[in-house]
Amino acid sequence: MQTLSQDPTAADFTQAPYPFYERARECGAMFHWQEYGLPCAVSYASVNAILRDRRFGREIPEEKATEKPAHQTGFWAIENHSMLELEPPRHTRLRGLVLRAFTSRRIKELAPEIASLSHDLIDKIPQERFDFIEGFAQPLPVIIIARLLGIPEENAPELLRWSNAIVGMYKAGRTYDDEVAASEAGKEFADFLRDYVAFRRDKPQDDLITHLIAAEEDGEKLSTDELIATCVLLLNAGHEATVHTLGNGLKAFLENGCAPDLLGPDAIEGTVEEMLRYDPPLHMFTRYAYEDIEVGRHSFKRGDQVACLLAAANRDPGRWEDPDHFLPERPKQVNASFGAGTHFCIGAPLARLEIQTALPILFERMPKLAIVEQPEYAPIYHFRGLKSLHLSA
């Protein structure tokens, strides 16, 4: 396996990672990333195969587990109960219970609320010039998830602050201070939810927290710790994906001079899928091998870790014609942005609904949207999103 070197914190890389992925693809289906010390899958076939193969998983093998540092306690108190980090049978049980509350019917019913909120946010936007990320992309998903959970909307800014700190644990080159901030945010978030869950046990309502409390499968219910971890996961994962896809996607749409009719009822689904494929919100997802196995002519031993580069897979020329161009009318194929297999993103339907609902309303209200300042991505890997997107209406 060929080794390549690329600092994931370098400014030129965080602003434009795709040339590196193209270079990595020349090595074959997999390469070794020196700075991470990991084999990385870059082809769509290899990424999809690993994500779907039950011989790989998120949960660290017992013999590889190490004691977590004390200053990270608040973060791991949540992560240790998160279905994102667990494998069957516990993952199966948690996901099944959550899906009993987080139903497709419940999600579809949110469409009018998403539309109404989109109009409300646009009403508050200065018409001459505004930051789309701050004024629209960030508040929309965090307010919707707060309403869905049943948490008072005035808590949305605090939820956003906690979420931003917690996901800082996943970025390349995180510092000790980042870890402390994530731990403190995790503890504050958990304490808040613990009190709120107790409140909802006494006074149930038609909200997701109440439904999660009531969800039961084979006589088992979610523990309070599992319920808290699930609420944090739904907020963090759902919020990050939607914010970054709205920003990255709108940037691509405007820079490529796409016609507004590509956001019409017959085209919006394909346009959003191309936004997800072209510049996705999450670029790397890791797995552990649970037995000796060979993938892409690379042999893994039990306990070895592998990185799936989702954004590289999404630009595989073996799957998409002209993959480096933003083409909303291309034939739709499944992309890797929400993962695959056991850990396929449980919030994907909500994220898609939010984007498919919000963007047509934005262009209906502001048909002359234009970028007025060169957008810059946040200097973070492996999430990818804009620091700001300044537009004129």
How confident is the model over 54-105, as pLDDT tens digits? 999 999 999 999 999 999 999 999 999 999 999 999 999 999 888 888 888 8
Q: Which residue has the tokens 């016609």?
A: 259
CB 215 within 8 Å of CB 221: yes
Q: Is pLDDT larger for residue 104 or for residue 385?
A: 385
8 pLDDT band, cuts 50/70/90, is very high
Residues in contact with 151: Cβ distance below 8 Å, sequence separation at least 6, in sequence order:
159, 196, 209
Is the preceding omega at residue 89 within 30 degrees of 0, hence cis?
yes
CB 60 within 8 Å of CB 305: no
Nearest residue to 350 (alpha-carbon basis) of 272, 297, 283, 282: 272
- As a whole number, the mean pLDDT across the chain is 94
Tell me the pLDDT tens digit for each residue of 89-98: 999 999 988 8
pTM higher than the cut 0.75: yes
Homologous superfamily (CATH) for 3-392: Cytochrome P450 (1.10.630.10)
pLDDT at 133 over 80: yes
DSSP 90-128: HHHHHHHHHHHHS-HHHHHTTHHHHHHHHHHHHHTS-SS
Alpha helices in the chain (DSSP H): 11-15, 18-25, 44-52, 73-79, 90-101, 104-108, 111-123, 132, 139-149, 156-167, 176-202, 208-214, 224-255, 268-278, 310-313, 348-365
pLDDT of residue 221: 85
Residues in contact with 352: Cβ distance below 8 Å, sequence separation at least 6, in sequence order:
272
Which residue ranges make up each domain of the chain?
3-392
Tell me the pLDDT tens digit for each residue of 247-292: 999 999 999 999 999 999 999 999 999 999 999 999 999 999 999 9
Tell me the pLDDT tens digit for each residue of 9-41: 999 999 999 999 999 999 999 999 999 999 999
